[in-house]
Amino acid sequence: MTTTLRLVLDQLVAPTDSLLHTASLELARGLVASAPRGCEVEAIVPAGGAGAPDVAELVPGLARVTRAPLQRRELAAAWQLGVGPLSGGMVHAPTLMAPLVKHDRVHDGEQTVVTINTLDAFTAPDEMPRGRLTWARGMLRRAQRHADAVVVPTHAMAAELGERTALGDRIRVIPGAPPTGFAAPADAAARAAALGLPERFVAMSGSAHASAGVADALRGLALDSELSLVVLDVPGADAEELRELAEAAGVASRMQLFGDLAAAERATIWSRADAVLAASTGIAFPFRMVEAFAVGAPVVARDTATYREVAADAATFVTGEGADAWGAAIATVLDDADAAKRLGVLAGDRSRGFSWLDAGDRVWALHAEL
């Protein structure tokens, strides 16, 4: 008898977030590669529009791809209301997007496990679009009623979520990882030239939201007149506001903004930066920080429980607030070649602790336990 894990892969058909798209893709491949004997992975996806990618090509080895009769937006609304097309069996979702309906795990062997990747709905609700916030809160309520387990990527998030919900011991920790094979490309110098990267720079992922911490980085940058800041993952609508922040800090000419970039370009930037900054105040898995670890980049991180847990000793932590704290922490890396080299070595070692194949193993073990 074959055991089927039904994996929700809406992010591969209609992605709403590049980080969730990558995490869903990598977890799917990890689950296929780590499937125990007698087990298989089936993809559950919304109806695709014209030009939708072939999920079976993206994830070789899937047993089958089952499409919902609804496109992603309509499917998300239906599942929020408790209408459960494609429910049943052993369902796993890399996000909160899942058919969270009443089921009988004991007698029918049905399971539903979802993943919470960020606690923005609790910690930064004002930064979320109203529709997205309403949906997230509605799905969280459904998860508290119907999920057999809720996966989060860090123990820090598990502790916070446990205090804010009635999920109790259903919260499980399975960390994320950098994309498989993530490394600085052989032609990094040519890519850096094509991107127009400055001579000396620090880099980070960010947006105009206060929780992203770009303002702190800009104020710290003002203390070093020769240093530039490169910001990745910037939504197009946020570019002007970030330029205004840079102008106010007096460093507008030393900031470079990028939106979504391919893995090779991100790896080029992280590997050539004098330091990578992890400045977010949010509670989420720091995917970009572990990418920086994978290329051996020295990291300067805000002193939070999440960054402490993920980085361990592979980062320099900013323990204060304001320009002086960030400027001093950046200077400890930039002004000490030995310290930067040591951090780079520790980063490379730390990155090996995060693997999508290991995540796949843990997901299979979780469902076996349930």
Q: Domain check: are 75 and 223 in the same one? A: no
Which of 23-37, 148-162, 262-276, 325-339 is predicted least confidently?
325-339
pLDDT for res 1: 82
- pLDDT, tens digit, for every residue of 207-247? 999 999 999 999 888 888 899 999 999 999 999 999 999 99
pLDDT for res 357: 97
pLDDT at 22 exceeding the cut of 70: yes
Q: Domain check: are 320 and 362 in the same one? A: no
pLDDT at 349 exceeding the cut of 60: yes
Q: Domain check: are 29 and 46 in the same one? A: yes
Question: ∠ CA 211-213-218 to the nearest 5 degrees?
Answer: 150
DSSP, residue by residue, 91-140: EE-SSS-S------HHHH--EEEEE--B-HHHH-GGGS-HHHHHHHHHHH
Residue 61 belongs to a domain with what CATH number?
3.40.50.2000
pLDDT at 50 exceeding the cut of 80: no
- pLDDT, tens digit, for every residue of 267-319? 999 999 999 999 999 999 999 999 999 999 999 999 999 999 999 999 999 98
pLDDT for res 308: 97
Average pLDDT, the chain: 94
What average pLDDT score do residues 319-340 get? Answer: 87
Res. 106 pLDDT band, cuts 50 70 90? low
pLDDT at 191 exceeding the cut of 80: yes
pLDDT for res 340: 92
Structural domain tally of the chain? 2
Domain of residue 126: give its range: 3-177+355-369
Higher model confidence: residue 104 or residue 262? 262
Q: Specify whether the backbone of 177 is left (phi greater than 0), alpha (psi in -120 to 50) or beta.
A: beta
Question: Looking at the domain assignment, is residue 159 inside a domain?
Answer: yes
β-bridge pairing 228-232 and 255-257: parallel
Q: Are 330 and 340 in contact (CB under 8 A)?
A: no
Question: Looking at the domain assignment, is residue 274 inside a domain?
Answer: yes
pLDDT for res 247: 94
Q: Domain check: are 273 and 364 in the same one? A: no
Q: What is the pTM of this model?
A: 0.94
Question: Looking at the domain assignment, is residue 183 inside a domain?
Answer: no
